[in-house]
Each structure stands twice: as C-alpha cells, then as structure tokens.
Amino acid sequence: MDLAPVLSGFAVVFEPQNLLYCLIGVTLGMLVGVLPGLGPAATIAILLPITYGIDPAAAVILLAGIFYGAQYGGTITSVLLRLPGEASSVVTAIDGYQMARQGKAGSALGIAAIGSFIGGTGSIILLTLVAPFVANFALEFGPAEYTILALIGIFLIATLGNGTLIKSIAAAGVGLILATVGLDPIVGTARFTFGSDQLADGIDFVIVAMGLFGVGEILYNLEHRLRPQPAVLSFGRAIPTRLEWLGARLAILRGSVVGFVLGVLPGGGATMSSLVAYAVEKRSAKDPSRFGKGAIEGVAGPESANNAAATSSFIPLLTLGIPANATMAVLFGALLLQGIPPGPQLIVDHPDVFWGVVNSMYVGNILLLLLSIPLIGVFVRLLKVRAAILAPLTVLITMIGVYSIRNNVFDMFLVVALGLVGYGMKKLGFEPGPFVLAFVLGELLESSFRRSMRLFGGDLGGFVQRPVSAVLVAVFVLTVVVVPVLRAVRGRQAARAEREVVGV
C-alpha cells in the first residue's frame, strides 16, 4: 500500500495545536470515564457546538480522544468502587474489585492500563492496514448497497444494544420518523413541520444527540440523586509485578484479537468483546476457579479487548460511513458539521483528516498510559467530586451550546423536550442509542431507498439482482438469524457476570 498519506498523517498529528487537542481529548475522556453520570457519547454531543469553529482534523482528534480515553477511565471506578462507569467495564469489576480488596488494586489498574495500551495500539495498526481496502471496495457502492448497509447498521445496533430487541427496533423506528421532519430530500415537500418555519430545515442532529444523551441522562440522574458515596479503596503504585505481567501477557494478546474482530461489527462492540474476552480467559485457564476471586487475566483480557474494540469500531464509520455504536453516531454528526461526509471517499478526499485522526490515536494511547500509571492518583481523587455540582454545570454548557448552533432559542426548547423524551425512554426500557443512530442514518436510508426504487422501476427484487447488494442482502438475512443466538449467549453471560459483581 501507499505509505505517503499515512506518513503525512503523522505530520498532521505533530502540529502543536493537534497534539494539544489530543491531550485535552484523552484527559477529558479519562475524566468522563471516572466521573459518574455522563458517558462518552453524551460528552461528545455536548462539546459538538464548541468544536464547530476548530479545524476538522483537530476537532475529530479531540472528540475521538474522549471516546477511547473513557475506556481507560472506566476501569478505575470498576476496580476501586465496583461501579462500572461504562457497560464495557462490567466484567472488569468481577476480578478487579476482588484484587483491590486483596490489596492489589495497583496491580489491577496497572495491568488494565498496559493491556488497554497494547490492545488499542495493536488495533490502530490493523485499522491502518484494513481500512483503505474496505474504503476502496466501498467506492463502488450505489444507492441499493447503501440502503442495505444502513439497514444492517441500524438492525445490528438495535439488536446488539442492551435493551430488549423489540424495544430497540421501536426506538430506531421513531428515530427514523423524526429524521423525516423537514423538507423531503427528493421532491422538497414540507413534512411533519406543522407549518413551523423552525422545523423546515429538519431537526439538527446535534440537538437530538444533546437532548437524548445529554439532557436525558442528566434528568435521569436527578431522579435518583441521593446515592451514598461509596468508600474508595486506596492503593500504592499502579504497576503490576513481573510475575503478574507474565501471567497476564497472553490474556492481553487474546483480548486484543477478540476486541479488534468484534469491534468492527456494528453494535455493542466494546461491551460484547469484553464479555467474550472474559469467557475466553476463563475457558483457557488451567484453574478456572480462580476467576471471581481476583484472577489478573480476568482484568487483562477484557480491558485489552474493550480498548481494541473501541479503536476498531472507527473502521465502519471512516470507511463506509456507517457508525458502529452510539458514540460513533455522534462522531458521524461531528464530521457532517465540519462539512466532511463520512464514507468511502473520506480517505481519498480528506487524507489529512483520516490519517491525522487514525495516527493521533497512537499519541493518545501513549498519553493515556502516562495518565493512567504515573498520574492515576489525580484521577482517583476526582472520584470525590460531587455529581450535585457537575450536573448543573453540564446542563449549562448544554443549553448555551445548543443556542450557539444557530443562535436560536427555539433549539433550546427542542433540546429540553428531547431530554424529556430521553428520560421517558430510559424509564420505560428503551435505549436512546438506536434512536439516535437511526436518526443519523435516516436520511441516507430514505434517499437511497427511493433512488433504488426508481432505478429498479419499483421492483424490490432489484436488491438481489446486483451482485454486491445481493451479498449484502445475504449478510443482512444472516445477521437476522445469527444475532438472536448471539444475544441469548451474551444474555446468559451478562447475567452471570452481574451476579458475580453483586456477589450473590
């Protein structure tokens, strides 16, 4: 492959301002992982308006840093408090917390950081090799292929998420309906605007993401705000011993591979890969009974896996324009805001953005290793920051940020309304993730579908007559069959993991 663009990507990364944005991004990511309440998707959504004015490569470097940085930070609460900050760190809490109780919190955090670093970095290298091929292949795609691809993406996110299958599909459907508000993409008729000029341009994606992820989460946390602050286990250095490293290094390797492969699939890549990696470790151990009692492989495997998966989940977004999870959906919006449509042409048309972002992850992972080994004490102290102070500040940034998109007060009312929708969805068992993702892909899906129908003269059979789209249809059918099986397996494992975390 041609190495020149890859190398010039490094030139982008090492521009001082981009290094600074990378540092800010990963530090924010660590903070988000450690602090209760907001997840990475919400944080990125809230910061979107602020990054509006920054140069595209820098903006995406910053936002991507938040995403993979949060994977490092989430480990800290899992190990020290047995409160997984992210779904992908749930299994880490099983053995990590036991290690902490045995006085080995430092080892657990150290091996998690090293595993995350190796998993993340390995995954970037593989991404560098794989992504150009996928993008090149996808350049041939027409509307029919995009219709099926978007369908696969929405279906997988809906089914691999945490909620019930049917509720996730319902949420995705409502997201698709909301995406049709505004002018018809082909004939220009106003749809569902109820005569309001404010809605004629449709609803801005940023407002939907900020409302459902940002305001929705804050409101949800307000209802149960009186949660007692658990005591933090203290520890010495976050460095594993030589013996622990020898015991964990194969687990790190296996976890990284599992993570990379599962991360590419749309859907809960990081979460699923950490669960699978835990199962792999338990199965390949000579003495599986150590698991649940502080086995270091039970920390090393899943933590390497969730980081590798976080990195490889950039592949579908950057090469096909199909976001693989909720955070990628928000990054999709970030790229659109910057005037860069994500898709196969990204790597050709904007090599500086593509390779700048990809290569910035090397730097980001090194920075995170520094933040999570020598500087970990700083972040542990932050566990004492009260949510009662954070929530009002977050909500303030959200409200002013929303206003700043179009300097329009109407959008502020809209974000509050969507926040209430997000709150209600969580209460009634609907995941906001599929909703936001379907909203993002809604216009692509509708316009590709309608163009295909014109192309095929109204014959639905056209989708299976083009070779590439026929293959994609086959993949779609296959996922419809395979995914429920995967869900059943994962459901059993997650239930077991949860029982062990709770310590029943």
**Window contacting other proteins (CB under 8 A); options: 198-206, 229-237, 336-344, 472-480:** 229-237
Phi-psi group of 291: left, alpha or beta (phi > 0 → left; psi -120 to 50 → alpha; rest → beta): beta
Number of CB atoms found within 10 A of residue 71's CB: 30
CB 395 within 8 A of CB 386: no
Which residue number, 16 or 461, has a Cβ lying nearer to other proteins? 461
412 binds other proteins (CB under 8 A): yes
Token pair in block for residue 71: 């994977």
**Window contacting other proteins (CB under 8 A); options: 13-21, 115-123, 286-294, 393-401:** 393-401
Question: Least CB distance from residue 342 to other proteins, whole Å?
Answer: 22
Would you give the binding string for other proteins spanning residues 20-39, x where CB under 8 A is met? --------------------
Question: Least CB distance from residue 479 to other proteins, whole Å?
Answer: 17
Which residue number, 174 or 253, has a Cβ lying nearer to other proteins? 174
Applying the rule CB under 8 A, the residues between 257 and 276 that interact with other proteins are none
Token pair in block for residue 423: 């709150």
Applying the rule CB under 8 A, the residues between 81 and 140 that interact with other proteins are 81-83, 100-101, 103-106
Question: Least CB distance from residue 311 to other proteins, whole Å?
Answer: 26
Contacts of 444 (CB under 8 A, 6+ apart): 146, 150, 321
Would you give the binding string for other proteins spanning residues 208-227, x where CB under 8 A is met? -------x--xxx-xxxx-x
Among 14, 133, 137, 413, which residue sits at the site for other proteins (rule: CB under 8 A)? 413
Which residue number, 227 or 492, has a Cβ lying nearer to other proteins? 227
Would you give the binding string for other proteins spanning residues 306-335, x where CB under 8 A is met? ------------------------------
CB 174 within 8 A of CB 432: no
CB 350 within 8 A of CB 295: no
CB 112 within 8 A of CB 76: no
Applying the rule CB under 8 A, the residues between 171 and 210 that interact with other proteins are 173-174, 176-177, 180, 184, 187, 189, 191-192
Distance CA 296, CA 319 (A): 36
Applying the rule CB under 8 A, the residues between 38 and 77 that interact with other proteins are 50, 53
170 binds other proteins (CB under 8 A): yes
Among 164, 196, 284, 465, which residue sits at the site for other proteins (rule: CB under 8 A)? 164
By three-state DSSP, how is residue 475 classified? Answer: helix
By CB under 8 A, the count of residues binding other proteins is: 90
Beta-ladder partners of 182: 191
Helical ranges in 139-241 per DSSP H: 143-160, 165-179, 205-209, 216-223
DSSP letter string, 341-402: --STTHHHH-HHHHHHHHHHHHHHHHHHHHHHTTTHHHHHHGGGS-HHHHHHHHHHHHHHHH
460 binds other proteins (CB under 8 A): yes
